Amino acid sequence: MRQTDPRRKPQHRRAAALLLLLALLLALPGAAAGAEEQRDVRTITISAVGDCTLGRNQKMIYLKSWDYYYDREGSAYFFRHVADIFRGDDLTIANLEGVLSDSARRQRYFYREKQGRVDDKTYCHLGRPAYAAVLAAGGVDAVSFANNHNIDYGLQGFTDTLDACAAAGLPAAYYDTVVRREVRGLTVGILSVDVTYCSRGTAEAYLRAGMADLNRDCDLIVACMHWGQNYLKEASSEQIALGHLCVELGADVVFGCHAHILQGVERYKGRYIFYSLGNFCYGGNQSPKDADTVIAQQTFTFADGELQLDDAVRLIPCWMSTRQDINDCSPIPVSGKDARRVLRKINKRSEAFGLRFDSEGRPDVLPAEDTALPPPPAADEPLRPERVPAIIRTLLGVEDPEPGGGPALDLPNVSGTVSKEKITQP
């Protein structure tokens, strides 16, 4: 049997002591930070909120409206309870649900491509161009603008809103106009697509084109989807299919709007899909059916440029108004039993996805799943979108891409009672 040389024992002991000392040094906070600094670790926190309608629709009176509160309380009034949350993150996105214009005329009829018919434009939301600055001052950094109210005041209203957002420093994503923001040295891409007025095929075409463009150079991609049916508590099969498609095409998170109420949340392939964030700062209804809403937050971690899949998600329960008897258009976070009630509502609507949030609004029960995805397709050339996309001209029945109208398109002969010529009439 091999014998250990007793003369080597002190050397072994000294070596062991040195190894122990090294381990202790590495365990110190400073040493751990030094080791971490060798890896390039960065985090980006993104917040998203639902429908923001800055103004009122044509059927509402001035008293107690969004306009009334703006004139009486000033621009800081609306986001006073949430601005600190938005300013504390890296990027806040809101769905701008309405038009900002001083001169546009209300759109009376439009072509509903999804159903293939001409319809009345029942509710038209309008605010002043100065209102865009309310979002920016409140901590909102970008808006999604592909929705069913961006044509409420025709082409003039559509382009006036883009001008108002630009003047306020708010980039707007809509259809094939995508947004890129540099955050902590990383590029975040934002895409916005509607599938309430648009047909499924049109929506998918914009989705695929926009995602392929963002996949060229973005580190993180946010898909904002305007979909589903008003006041439907559960996500529809179309929403689920499109939400999955967003992820498969490269989206790292999906934020949904349109239902005017909260819907469930799904974790698909390790990415979160928020099917409906409800209303937020919403001037389109003075007595909404449901005032519950949330701020959806997710923190994304990159290590050496690679996104790490985790569950750093938080739902912040809110009401869209500080009052319950009337909508005062000033959303506010809630706590205690009110927060628990909002989270219970989301948990109930997320049951089908096996997902649950704890009392702090963080994921509690996570479904087991395969997170592997093939590399998403990337375009060879960048998108070159028109300021007024083709779908807007189709919905409005005009060929001229600039405000001022144009000849009616040859729309399908459908069973609607309104003739296609009436689309462009004042």
User: Which tens digit of pLDDT belongs to each residue from 209-228?
Assistant: 999 999 999 999 999 999 99
> What percent of the chain shows pLDDT beyond 90?
80
| pLDDT at 162 exceeding the cut of 60 | yes
Q: What pLDDT score was predicted for residue 414?
A: 29
Q: Rounded to whole angstroms, how far apart are CA atoms 229 and 223?
A: 19
CA dist 372 to 212, 271, 311, 379, 415, Å? 19, 11, 16, 22, 46
Query: Quick one: pLDDT band at residue 121, thresholds 50, 70, 90?
Result: very high
Query: Quick one: pLDDT band at residue 289, thresholds 50, 70, 90?
Result: confident
Average the pLDDT over each of 87-91, 126-130, 343-347, 368-372 and give the range with the smallest value.
368-372
Q: What pLDDT score was predicted for residue 38?
A: 85
**Mean of pLDDT over the chain:** 88
Which numeric CATH code is attached to 41-365? 3.60.21.10
Q: What pLDDT score was predicted for residue 99?
A: 98
Q: What pLDDT score was predicted for residue 426?
A: 41
pTM of this structure: 0.87
| pLDDT at 425 exceeding the cut of 70 | no
Q: Rounded to whole angstroms, how far apart are CA atoms 18 and 321?
A: 63
| pLDDT at 390 exceeding the cut of 70 | yes
| pLDDT at 54 exceeding the cut of 50 | yes
Q: What pLDDT score was predicted for residue 94?
A: 98
Count of other CB atoms within 10 angstroms of residue 16: 10
Query: Quick one: pLDDT band at residue 103, thresholds 50, 70, 90?
Result: confident
Radius of gyration of the chain (CA): 25
Q: Rounded to whole angstroms, how far apart are CA atoms 419 and 119?
A: 9
Count of other CB atoms within 10 angstroms of residue 254: 27
> What percent of the chain shows pLDDT beyond 70?
85
Average the pLDDT over each of 109-123, 247-261, 336-350, 410-424 and give the range with the smallest value.
410-424
Structural domain spans, the chain: 41-365
CA dist 288 to 50, 117, 228, 231, 284, Å? 14, 29, 18, 11, 9
Q: What pLDDT score was predicted for residue 404?
A: 41
| pLDDT at 381 exceeding the cut of 60 | yes
Q: What pLDDT score was predicted for residue 98?
A: 97
User: Which tens digit of pLDDT belongs to each residue from 348-367?
Assistant: 999 999 999 999 999 998 88
The DSSP letter of residue 277 is B
CA dist 204 to 115, 193, 241, 244, Å? 16, 9, 11, 12
Query: Quick one: pLDDT band at residue 37, thresholds 50, 70, 90?
Result: low
